[in-house]
Amino acid sequence: LSPPRSGTTLLRVMLAGHPRLFAPPELELLSFNTLTERRAAFTGKDSFWLEGTLRAIMEIKSCETHEAQQIMHSMEERGLTTKECYRQLQAWLGERILVDKTPSYVLDQTVLERAEVDFENALYVHLLRHPAGMVRSFEEAKLDQIFFRYEHSHSRRELAEVIWTLSHRNIVEFLQHVPRERQHRVKFEDLLRQPQPVMESLCRFLGLSLHADMLQPYKDSERRM
């Protein structure tokens, strides 16, 4: 749980280094009721948001893009709900644990609440980055052009500040109703300065032992998507 430009991709790739974890790019599933609804929302210039699930299917099924597209199209045609899609992904993964890193979820409290309804004892990682770093990164990446899909009158910097504030307010309020043992906080700056103790602590939270590959985020980059 984190706004964009907060180190979510680095943490995701580090998590993907553990053989028990499966951490694909943004799945963009939880915000929608059905896969058909999701497909309709991501058209034209926004269609790239559909790629995360395709990358996930390609890695799980060891297949090429066109086959992953066929699998996804079949699930959409069958009218699967997003909850059923999650269930299918987890069934394919077996004992591996599915990680969903999608920053857009934290913009809406109802989306976060859906996670508590749809999943049994979900674990939440709250990733924090100093707002100055997040805002600067947001500006440099010109993320207002792709991330925020709503009408607004803010400058790029103002929008970044609004997103940082709204996101963490939503996260904090949501986690107030989640048992403490199912939430864990990571500071991005600590992750950069002391990656091993931070990842050891996170692994303990997940009930896992630290794997050496988690500390080598550029190793096996293709497998880590």
Residue with tokens 């998590």: 15
pLDDT at 161: 96
pLDDT at 220: 85
According to DSSP, the residues that pair with 81 across neighbouring strands are 34
pLDDT at 215: 97
pLDDT at 66: 97
- CA dist 151 and 6 (Å) reads 23
Q: Percentage of residues in the chain with pLDDT exceeding 70?
A: 100
pLDDT band at 223 (very low <50, low <70, confident <90, very high): confident
* C-alpha angle 139-141-145 in degrees, rounded to nearest 5: 85
DSSP string over the chain: ---SSSSHHHHHHHHTTSTTEE--S----TT-SBHHHHHHHS-GGGGGGGHHHHHHHHHHHT--HHHHHHHHHHHHHTT-BHHHHHHHHHHHHTTSEE----GGGGG-HHHHHHHHHHSSS--EEEEE--HHHHHHHHHHHTGGGTT--S-----HHHHHHHHHHHHHHHHHHHHTTS-GGGEEEEEHHHHHH-HHHHHHHHHHHHT----GGGG-TTTTTTTT-
pLDDT at 168: 98
Over residues 107-123, mean pLDDT: 96
Q: What mean pLDDT is reported for the chain?
A: 95
| Dihedral angle computed from the Cα positions of residues 19, 125, 84 and 74, in that order, rounded to the nearest 10 degrees | -60
| AA letter at 188 | F
* Cβ(101)–Cβ(1) below 8 Å: no
Residue 40, CA atoms < 13 Å, CB-side half-sphere: 8
Is residue 177's pLDDT more than 90? yes
Is residue 144's pLDDT more than 90? no
pLDDT at 221: 82
* C-alpha angle 33-115-129 in degrees, rounded to nearest 5: 115
